[in-house]
Structure 1
Amino acid sequence: MVATTGAGLVQSREPDKSGSMTTRPRILYAREQDLCAREFQTLLQDCSLGAIRPAGDPDRLDAMLRGANLIVTARRDEPERPLVGIARCVTDFSWCCYLSDLAVADAAQGLGIGRGLLEETRRIIGPTVSLMLVSVPEAVGFYRRAGMADMPDGFVFKRER
């Protein structure tokens, strides 16, 4: 069961392995265009996406953040507000939105944060904008379970470095 406790704030109660109800940590979702490259780098190093992103190149990470015009973050509702997830997008806010990165810290996997980031991104872009992405093979099932349709006719020119 997921209960919305305010704009962008979600807390859920789920049965644990013994059947007792446990409270998952509260997660804050927000648009955060001024996210610093250091926090982005730390998150990438803490998740599987870091293996295929330039996590060791802070200048490139900074350029990636500055080039994205929609950054949605997930933070634990704790004093330090640790970053546990990000959706980094490029959009025209009218027709389409390309989700470049969806990353969730390994320690926060299974808390519904990836789905929460997708939902918050869709809320921000609105119902007239298509959300699309290119998935790593390991995440295809996640996107299908989240309700996204396969897009078989996509094409790409791969980067040279």
Structure 2
Amino acid sequence: MKIIYKTDSIPDIKEIIDLYNCSDYFPIADREDTDRIKKMHDNADIVVTAWAEDQLVGLARSISDFCYCCYLSDLCVRNEYKQKGIGKELVRITKELAGNECKLILHSSPNAMNFYSNIGMEQINSAFIIKRKK
């Protein structure tokens, strides 16, 4: 099946939540926060989607200044489409759109650490977080 990548639109919130539910990506409590998920995508600078016919099978969401750094906040692929190069292509397109001046930064979930190493990303240990309260 051919995968089509798009950069010109944000999928419907129901399609995004369905992708999260079928990708083991998002914490379950956050998957129900439709207002937050909608704002996350509406306020993103770069959204790259992957489609198998009319089904959303992958998504990358980023925030960028397009000259220094791009934070790849979300990368998820529907479970049955993993191991097909979709995540790697979503990262490649995101980096291309951010530009050569930008470094691409992300915070990985523990179960995805090997994936990022395997696609050539360098692991760093110099990040900090202030967790959200809500």
TM-score (norm. length: structure 1)? 0.78
Give the 5 Å matches for 1:1-161: 25-51=1-27, 54-76=30-52, 78=53, 81-161=54-134
Please give the alpha-carbon distance, in whole angstroms, between the structure 2 residues aligned to 1:97 and 1:36: 24
- Note the alpha carbon deviations across 1:104-138, whole angstroms, 9 max, x for none: 00111111111010111111112111100000111
Deviations 1:71-126, CA, capped at 9 Å, x for gaps:
000111x2xx2110000000011111001100000111111111010111111112
Gap runs ≥5 in structure 2? none
Which amino acid is 2:63 matched to?
V
C-alpha displacement of 1:53: 6.5
Q: Which consecutive residues of structure 1, in runs of 5 or more, have no partner in the other structure? A: 1-24
CA distance in 1, matches of 2:60, 2:10: 14
| Structure number having the greater helix percentage | 2
Equivalent pairs: percent with the same residue? 35
Which one is further off, 135-144 or 50-59? 50-59
Q: Deviations over 1:126-155 (max 9, x none)?
A: 211110000011111100111111121111
Give the number of equivalent residue pairs. 134
Higher relative contact order (CA 8 A, sep 6+): 2
Runs of 4+ deviating beyond 4 Å:
none
TM-score norm. by structure 2 comes to: 0.93
Distance 1:108 1:141, change over 3 A: same
One-letter amino acid of the structure 2 residue matched with residue 131 of structure 1: L
Closer/same/farther in 2, CA of residues 35 and 51 from structure 1, 3 Å limit: same
Is the radius of gyration larger for structure 1 or structure 2?
1
Separation of aligned partners in 1, 2:8 and 2:55:
13
Deviation at 1:52, TM superposition (A): 5.5
Q: How far, CA to CA, are the matches of 1:103 and 1:74 in structure 2?
A: 10
